[in-house]
Structure 1
Amino acid sequence: MHRRQFLKTAALTAMAPGFMRAGSALAATSNESVIVLDSGGASITLVDQATRKVKRSFPVGKEPHHLMLLPNGQQLIVADAVGGELNFLNPITGAYEGKLPGIEDPYQIGFSPDRKWFVANCLRLNRVDIYHYDGGHKLQLAKRVPLDTIPSHMAFTADSQTVFVSLQGSDAVAALHLPTQRVLWTMRIGKATAGVWMTPHDEHLLVALTGEDAVIAVDWRRKRIVRRIVTGRAAHNFRSLADHRHVMVSNRLSNTISVLDMQDLRKVEDIRGLRPGPDDMELSADRRWLWTTFRFAREVGVIDMRTRKLVDVIHVGRSPHGIYFHDRAPFYDNLPYAAQRPLPVRSA
């Protein structure tokens, strides 16, 4: 192991007890927070989920973009891309609980379904960093994988063998083999590839084209485009409808959200009348309410999924991006629902 990588691994291991502190209490509360990352304002806004009123905002890092729950469900990770650190929140209340520095340029982050790998897309550095994750307290850098320009979003196969990374500046998608950390292939898809999504049974990879008005369905095993689904201008990011059949994609410039049938590879409908720049989405556990960030409006919206109407708008910080709340519907479609539940919390 090179000296620089050894020092990096040692530093991460030394700081790792703060990575998953056992002191995070997750008592149920009726005052659950919707956690919104204001990437342009270097802050987090907490919204009361029941009243839809802003509770408070507080500064975090320099440019927080994306977030995800730790596999044990105890803490929410907020990736600070420019600050080069991971911040940790209580996933129910949104209370700040600490940080792990020394993670370079974590723009988009993800855990493999088997919880053995932690992947960070380093958007500004044009690479993907792959870490071993022991399921407890340690991250150990396995490899930094150089890629073409602007690696942004990611999706995993259900067997945790492959991660797909969109290369937004190169109009392509790269497939990486996690056990060996090598690039399997790179494939040009279309203008400004962004969100990527795996359909049930890992049948097709869906790729949103922010530079166009479509989602591309890819037969990733044969490296072949099988369908172009016209959605809306600047198709960007995905969120499951939690029925193993439909997925939504936000269209930033059309100010719409399209609902796609993943089995027939077609658009079912558009949700219209939204605010400028719909981006990340989160769906309530009962599938009644869809919350979405509006990047260009400094707002978050709530859509009634029974009527497909925008029923509430909440003013937040500048360039709101990631959004999360604890009582949500299952996120992925290519994994068994049981695999999406948090692992049991271990005692310290």
Structure 2
Amino acid sequence: MKLPHLIGLLASAFLSIYAHAETAIVLNSVDENVSFIDTKTYKETGKSPACKEPHHLIATPDDTSVIVACAISNELVFFDAKTGKEQKRIKNISDPYQLGFSPDNRWFVANSLRLDRVDLYSATDYKLVTRIPAAKTPSHMAFDKASQFVFITLQDSNEILAIDLKTQQPLWKLPVGPTPAGIHMTPDDKYLLVGIMGADYVEVIDWRARKTIKKIVTAKAAHNFLARGDGRHVFVSNRTVNGSISLVDMQTLTEVEKYDVPGGPDDMEIRADGKELWATARFARKVQVIDLEQKKVSYSIPVGRSPHGVSFINHAARQ
């Protein structure tokens, strides 16, 4: 099948999504395609080809586009957030594994996980500004509110890297626990929370003092974060076969709830009404839907191989 036809299929599928706001998007990284799920029936409505290794997706700061990052095909694919029509493809974005926009919307940051570097682009035109060596295996990122720094987890060197966005230079590294993955800034801009995937805890870092102040035990393979949206709580996925998701209070720095979520829970998204949490189960080829009132999985939806990124249309930004 030729690329223009594949692009047309994907654009048509996104068009269907945006015509029905109750739709979830799931990136199947190994299958190189996208699953579409009707969030009213909890059934997959179809799949469309995407690109090589789509891992993460992100909305543009103005919420007019959804960007799908294609790590192996080295490109970004932009879709109109209202019509679903493909807007453009930006080539030569080298290994865009994880993406982020700085809060001031000046910088677009891409972690090149397999190439051991962090690329800083202009957020206005996606032109490369500088490349920063980041050994080894730069994974997730978080920003401070002032957009002065971006903090990167280095999974295979067990460190946090701080990059000064004003100088576009690495500033410092801090040792942390084994295999750090997700990283999240608390709403008060005081602490960095780091999922320690090689252990069973979230490491709390006073990034200004450059020291660990606490370890919040959650479960084995503490991996990724998603803010609940109330300015106080954050979900933590614990990515094992018999996995779970923890709810952490960012004021008391304690785990306050836990939900059994099998299959290797990874990326998460919460429904706009706050009643459901959706999580990709990387090892089970499923999306798990957690009823937050019943505190248990209510639906288990088959998708493709190694589902990673998940999102809803027009979901609100969360803290």
Query: TM-score scaled by structure 1?
Result: 0.84
Equivalent of residue 221 in structure 2, options 230, 234, 248: 234
Report the CA distance between 1:263 and its aligned residue.
Answer: 0.7
CA distance in 2, matches of 1:172, 1:84: 26
Q: Which residue number corresponds to residue 296 of structure 1?
A: 283
Aligned length: 305
Partner of 2:238: 251
Aligned: 1:323 with 2:310 = yes
Distance, in Å, in 2 between the alignment partners of 1:98 and 1:317 is 25
Q: Which moved more, 1:187-196 or 1:47-56?
A: 47-56
Picking from 156, 167, 173, the partner of 2:160 is: 173
Q: Distance in 2 between matches of 1:267 and 1:208?
A: 13
Counterpart of 1:112?
102
CA contact (8 A) 1:209 1:216 kept: yes
Deviations 1:9-35 (A, max 9, x none): xxxxxxxxxxxxxxx999974453200
Say which structure is richer in strand: 2
Structure 1 Cα separation of the partners of residues 120 and 209 of structure 2: 25
Partner deviation per Cα, 1:50-77 (whole Å, 9 max, x = no partner): 2222111111111010110011211110
Match of 1:285 among 272, 295, 298: 272
How far apart are 1:190 and its partner, in Å?
0.6
Return the alpha-carbon distance in structure 1 between the equivalents of residues 83 and 278 of structure 2. Answer: 17
Distance (whole Å) between structure 2 residues aligned to residue 147 and residue 314 of structure 1: 36
Contact 1:33–1:93 at 8 Å: present in 2 too? no
User: Hey, what's the Cα distance between the residues in 1 that align with 2:65 and 2:16?
Assistant: 9
| Aligned equivalents of 1:80, 1:127: Cα separation in 2 | 16
2:188 aligned with 1:198, yes or no? no
Partner letter of residue 265 of structure 1?
Answer: L
Q: 1:286–1:329: 8 Å Cα contact kept in structure 2?
A: no
The Cα of 1:329 is off from its aligned counterpart by 4.3
- 1:37 corresponds in structure 2 to 27
Q: CA deviation at 1:88?
A: 2.0
The one-letter code matched in structure 1 to 2:34 is I
By how many angstroms is 1:126 displaced? 0.2
Taking only the aligned residue pairs, the percentage that are identical comes to 46
Displacement, 1:214? 0.5
- Greater Cα offset, 94-103 or 167-176: 94-103
- CA distance in 2 between counterparts of 1:26 and 1:160 reads 36
**1:279-317 Cα deviation digits (max 9, x unpaired):** 000001110111110000000011111111111111100
Aligned to 2:72: 82
5+ residue gaps in structure 2?
1-13
Q: Please give the alpha-carbon distance, in whole angstroms, between the structure 2 residues aligned to 1:26 and 1:152.
A: 32
Say if 2:17 and 2:84, in contact at 8 Å, map to a contact too: no
Residues 139-175 of structure 1: per-residue CA shift (max 9 Å, x gap) = 2211000011100000001111100000001111100
- 1:114-143 residue CA offsets vs partner (Å, 9 max, x unmatched): 110000000011000001222xxx122110
Q: CA RMSD in A?
A: 1.8
Moved more, 282-291 or 49-58: 49-58
Match of 2:62 among 49, 72, 79: 72
